[in-house]
Amino acid sequence: MIGDFSMTCEIVPKIHAFEQLEARGFSPEELRKAVIMGSKDRKGPNEYLGTYGVCKVKVIEAPCTLYVITVMTDTDK
Q: Which residues contact 1 (CB under 8 A, 6 or more apart)?
A: 40, 48, 61
Whole-model pTM: value is 0.79
pLDDT tens digit sequence for 1-39: 344 444 567 899 999 998 999 999 999 999 999 999 999
> H-type helices in the chain, by residue range?
15-23, 28-36
Please state the rounded mean pLDDT for residues 39-67.
92
Residue extents of the structural domains in the chain: 10-73
CATH number for the segment(s) 10-73: 3.30.2310.20
The C-alpha atoms of residue 1 and residue 31 are separated, in whole angstroms, by: 18
